[in-house]
Amino acid sequence: MDEDDSFDVSPRDIAILKARVDHPTSSTRELSRILKEEYGITLSHNRINEILRTMSEQEIFRETILPNREIFRHYLFRISFNFPNFEDNWRNCYDRLQNNPHVLMFFTADSDYQWHVISQFRTDDEMERWVHEFFKDHGELISEFHNTMLHTVHKFKTEAAVFDNILAETEEGRQYLEYNE
């Protein structure tokens, strides 16, 4: 998806998603009540469940369990490439990062096209062993590897208010926001 692409999601469905994010443990029956009170949206709990299931299937959102951030130590790895070896080696490395249980987030950033990895381990020793094995398996691909321990993760969640800007893009969405005020 490039910068100009976006999911085509109705303002009503954004309001439902916002309510789900704001009330992650509420039943769909409770969400039905919340949507009516906060946005003037009247839907049965069965319909809300169908809409949430459809949005999940369309990958508009993913349900994820996030453990308490105190359980793990978090690290940021920045990986630069030895480009003459890139074509022959990138795929195995990519797949390993995609499928590794210690990798929380994996993305490309900056104009150097470095891979950035946010990972989580119980201890520094566990992380160091993982990095050692990673280099043994993929060292020919890597030209630079920077490791930063994220000492204190102060916030680790998506706020429901982030959807307000999306709602403000359309007249229908603005009506939901105004109803909520």
Q: How do residues 18-29 score in pLDDT, each as one tens digit? A: 999 899 889 999
User: What is the C-alpha to C-alpha distance for residues 79 and 81, in angstroms, rounded to an integer?
Assistant: 7
Whole-prediction pTM: 0.69
Token pair 């490791």 in the structure block, residue: 147
Strand extents, DSSP E, 14-113:
73-81, 103-109
Contacts with 143 (C-beta within 8 Å, 6 or more apart), sequence order: 80, 81, 82, 83
Classify 140 as helix, strand or coil.
coil
Tell me which residue of 173, 98, 157, 91 sits closest to 106, measured CA to CA.
98
Backbone angles phi, psi at 8, to 5 degrees: -90, 95
One pLDDT digit (tens) per residue for the chain, 181 residues: 444 556 688 999 999 999 998 998 899 999 999 999 999 999 999 999 999 999 999 988 877 766 777 788 999 999 999 989 999 999 999 999 999 999 999 999 877 789 999 999 999 999 999 999 999 999 999 999 999 999 887 777 778 888 898 899 999 999 999 987 7
Cα→Cα distances 42→12, 49, 54, 173, Å: 10, 13, 18, 15
pLDDT at 90: 95
CATH number assigned to the domain covering 73-150: 3.30.70.920
Per-residue pLDDT of 46-70, as tens digits, reads: 999 999 999 999 988 877 766 777 7
Q: How many residues does the chain have?
A: 181
